[in-house]
Amino acid sequence: MSVPLKPELLAQLEAFFNICMINPSLLNQPEYSFIKTFIEFFGGRIPKTNQQSSNEPPSKKSEDANASKEPEPNPEPEPESEESDIDLDMNGVIEPDEDTPQKMGNPTLQPTEEEIAESQAKRSEAVSAFIEKDYEKAIELYTEAIVLNPQASLLYAKRGQIFMLMNKPNACIRDCNRALELNPDSAAAHKFRGRAYHLLGKFEEAATDLRLACKFDFDEQADEWLREVTPNARKIEEHKRKKERKIQEKLERERQERLRKARESAKAYEDNTRTSQTDHPGDSPGMGDFYKFLNDPDVLQAFQDPEIAEAFKEISTNPANILKYQNNPTVMAFINKMASKFGGAGNIPGGFPGMMGGMPGAPGAGAPKPKPQDDVGLD
């Protein structure tokens, strides 16, 4: 039993199959699953990737592929990431202190005049203890002064100085941080914190603080400390610049490689498209119309509408499904528009070939047009 198919439909089917032979992976798309099922039912197999037909044997293709494949570049060594790799002068660097954080006082307390006066008296006693190098007593007295007047920036800086002299850089840094919260321009706090950073081997931070200390209130000792840390700080800065430069160069190489691959992909796609759209001997008569239909801007825009795309799929599967859409203005407007562009509904490629011409009452159908009622009997 033969299924009657119109010549136009056969031509379009032949055109479609020719395209599939050029690009078999097209049949992996969901809308063509019924064709894929048909082929696999008889033992066929659909390739997963696009394969161009060629008369060359597989071994020849493999040799050409290997010949054209560029050699893998040798991986570059990773840039240095540890400051320990830099030749730094660690003279004077000590182990960090792990003592319990010192008492800071209530930062929201606003002292009375009496408390301020008493705090100043404690400070004077602390200075005397410091001169006598009784650092523990000096710390206690400065702490009492801070509790009485926690808004005095200099009290924290001076206590931090004593912690620094006691080789407790972390405690010094905590005091100087509070002093700078109260007075960001405190030269003493920057000076002592800079020295504490030096003791911890944080040379960049030390150089920054000591520069600020000299800027706000030049001090010969601060300047001497700055000269000590500057060589190491410059080495670290240069190391970081070198590392950043290598990272940027690597990112630029990766970007250029992505661009190269994108250009190659675009060129391959353009070559494949040009090859598939060029008429070859033996191509079916409807193949050019099929491409013209697929590349038509109105068709591409209309297929963005899921309703039209679904209707196209159903009607392509079975032209009789057009009856379901006779009362759908959106789908019928699309069919009529395409019919006017491609010389009648029966000539629409890719999904509507011949389906309208054989449907009674449909646009382009072969049924005779009914005569007006007033003309009955006038023949």
- The predicted-structure confidence for 226-240, as pLDDT tens digits, reads as follows 999 999 999 999 999
Smallest Cα–Cα separation from 179: which of 165, 166, 163, 167? Answer: 163
CB of 180 closer than 8 Å to CB of 187? no
Q: For residue 28, count other CB atoms closer than 10 A to its CB.
A: 14
The residue length of the chain stands at 379
Would you list the DSSP string of 268-281?
A: HHHHHHHHHHS--T
pLDDT digits 0-9 by tens, 116-157:
999 999 999 999 999 999 999 999 999 999 999 999 999 999
The torsion defined by the Cα of 254, 258, 259 and 263, in degrees rounded to 10, comes to 150
Least confident interval from 8-17, 44-53, 236-245: 44-53
pLDDT at 296 over 80: no
**What's the token pair of residue 220?**
């010969």
- Give dist(CA 74, CA 58) in Å, integer: 30
- Give dist(CA 160, CA 191) in Å, integer: 10
CB of 160 closer than 8 Å to CB of 189? yes
- Give dist(CA 128, CA 58) in Å, integer: 95
Q: Calculate what percentage of the chain has a pLDDT beyond 90.
A: 41
pLDDT at 48: 66
- Give dist(CA 179, CA 153) in Å, integer: 4
Smallest Cα–Cα separation from 309: which of 321, 322, 296, 300? Answer: 300
**What's the token pair of residue 278?**
């060029």
The most distant pair of C-alpha atoms in the chain lies apart, rounded to whole Å, by 137
Structure-model confidence comparison of residues 342 and 359, the more confident one: 342
User: Which residue do the tokens 């033969």 mark?
Assistant: 2
DSSP 69: S
**Mean pLDDT of the 269-298 span:** 60
DSSP 86: S
pTM listed for this prediction: 0.49
Structure-model confidence comparison of residues 332 and 15, the more confident one: 332
pLDDT digits 0-9 by tens, 343-372:
554 555 544 544 444 444 444 444 444 444
CB of 335 closer than 8 Å to CB of 316? no
Which residues make Cβ contacts (< 8 Å) with residue 123, sequence separation at least 6?
A: 141, 142, 145, 155, 158
